[in-house]
Amino acid sequence: MLSDAESLSVLKRCTHGVLALSDQEGFPYAVPMSYVYFNNAIYFHCAMIGHKIDLIAANPHASFCVVDQDIIMPETFTTHFRSVIAFGYISCITDRMEKEKILYILGEKYAPGREESLKKEIDGSIVRTNILRLQIHHMTGKEAIELTRNRTLHSD
């Protein structure tokens, strides 16, 4: 198990993961998404309408999984993995100022140092862009025991 601090570090450094929602019949719907972690929440941008939005309106429970590392070790029939799953409640942000703030934070993560072009992009797309907030209720992080041992050896 990863500590909360280690799990947060993974969330902060990764660039994409899989958002999982449930439909009305209980079937899972998992979709890859880019994101940003900010203030104990995970934020995504997407279209204003669509399957995700319909599912969120019907059931706000969600999980989000990121894989930080997965190195295949064929000689030992395993992988050296590290991943985090966050569980929480997802909602759409409707306040324009909050949407703009999150779009800037997303832009800085994926295109740092491009403030002028980022402002133009946000100004031109904010009315047709939805921002989703996954408020984290709890999370779990795990890594292969070999990675834990390796970190322990190098920290002594």
pLDDT digits (tens, 9 = 90+) for 105-133: 999 999 999 989 999 999 999 999 999 99
Give the separation between CA 69 and CA 66, rounded to whole angstroms. 9
Per CATH, the number for 4-155 is 2.30.110.10
Q: Mean pLDDT in the chain?
A: 93
Q: What is the pLDDT at residue 153? A: 66
Q: What is the pLDDT at residue 87? A: 98
What are the tokens at 60? Answer: 């706000």
What are the helix (H) ranges across 1-156? 4-13, 51-58, 96-110, 115-125, 145-155
Give the separation between CA 84 and CA 127, rounded to whole angstroms. 32
User: Residue 131 corresponds to which amino acid?
Assistant: I
CB 7 within 8 A of CB 140: yes
Other residues' Cβ atoms within 10 Å of the Cβ of residue 131: 21
pTM: 0.91
Give the separation between CA 88 and CA 75, rounded to whole angstroms. 38
The residues near 71 (Cβ < 8 Å, ≥ 6 apart) are: 79, 80, 81
Give the separation between CA 100 and CA 111, rounded to whole angstroms. 16
> Where do the domains of the chain lie?
4-155
Q: pLDDT tens digits, the chain, 156 residues: what are they?
A: 999 999 999 999 999 999 999 999 989 999 999 999 999 999 999 999 999 999 999 999 999 999 998 888 899 888 889 999 999 999 999 999 999 999 999 999 999 999 899 999 999 999 999 999 999 999 999 998 887 777 766 665
